[in-house]
């Protein structure tokens, strides 16, 4: 099974998976040249850019064995765009882009069958508000390393994103793909 995660997530995952038969790697997804029965991509697709969506899907298709499943977990937008939010790109996520449903389905067309598509976006503002609460609680310790400008910037980021999810401008999708179609009914719809 393969997961695509950030370096920080890899460090955390290694600690949580210690002693388990799991290998956590931090590497460029384009360097993968192995086969897997399951591929899970969490928070990665937003960082490959629209010009690489099809390249990403081609790579996953090549690495996924026949009968395997691919879970794509990504933030999504309601409308297609070819650029990211300028403020977020400058201060939070350089080179990030939020895909639309159309961009995802276009990139996966002819490669995968979409078996299941869940939207957790309506609940995600609560997650961002909890992160903001944790950030504010931790600020007395964090301010030893960061200035007020960072605090204002991070607060703006967390709360504006919470608002975007609450307003349903942003979505949080988990999409399960198969190569040839899952035999019978996919388990989540039985």
Q: In this model, does residue 6 exceed pLDDT 50?
A: yes
The proportion of the chain whose per-residue pLDDT surpasses 70, expressed as a percent, equals 95
Tell me, yes or no, if 161 is annotated catalytic.
yes
Ordered domains of the chain (ranges, CATH):
2-122+169-182 (3.40.50.150)
1: pLDDT strictly greater than 50 = no
For tokens 């389905």, name the residue. Answer: 105
Which range (14-18, 27-31, 116-120, 122-126) has the least confidence? 27-31
pTM of the model: 0.86
63-114: per-residue pLDDT in tens?
A: 999 999 999 999 999 999 988 889 988 988 888 899 999 999 999 999 999 9
Single out the catalytic residue among 17, 50, 123, 161: 161
| DSSP state letters, 59-126 | HHHHHEEEEEEEEEEEEEESS--SS--HHHHHHT-TT--PPBHHHHHHHHTTT-EEEEEEE-HHHHHH
Own/partner contacts of 83-86, CB < 8 Å, gap of 24 or more, are none
Compute CA distances 111 → 2, 116, 122, 136, whole Å.
18, 15, 29, 44
- Out of 6-20, 29-43, 113-127, 165-179, pick the least confident: 6-20
Average pLDDT over residues 44-64: 94
């Amino acid at each position: 099974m393969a997961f695509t995660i950030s370096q920080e997530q890899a460090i955390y995952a290694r600690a949580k998976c210690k002693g388990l038969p799991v290998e956590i790697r931090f590497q460029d997804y384009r360097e993968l040249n192995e086969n897997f029965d399951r591929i899970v991509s969490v928070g990665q697709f937003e960082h490959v850019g629209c010009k690489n969506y099809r390249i990403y899907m081609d790579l996953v298709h090549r690495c996924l064995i026949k009968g395997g499943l691919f879970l794509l977990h990504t933030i999504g937008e309601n409308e297609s765009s070819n650029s990211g939010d300028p403020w977020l790109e400058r201060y939070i996520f350089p080179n990030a882009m939020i895909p639309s449903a159309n961009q995802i389905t276009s990139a996966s067309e002819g490669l995968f069958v979409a078996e299941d598509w869940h939207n957790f976006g309506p609940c995600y503002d609560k997650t961002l508000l909890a992160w903001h609460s944790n950030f504010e609680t931790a600020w007395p310790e964090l301010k030893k390393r960061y200035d007020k400008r960072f605090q204002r910037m991070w607060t703006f980021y967390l709360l504006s994103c919470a608002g975007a999810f609450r307003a349903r401008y942003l979505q949080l999708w988990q999409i399960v793909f198969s190569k040839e179609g899952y035999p019978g009914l996919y388990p989540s719809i039985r």
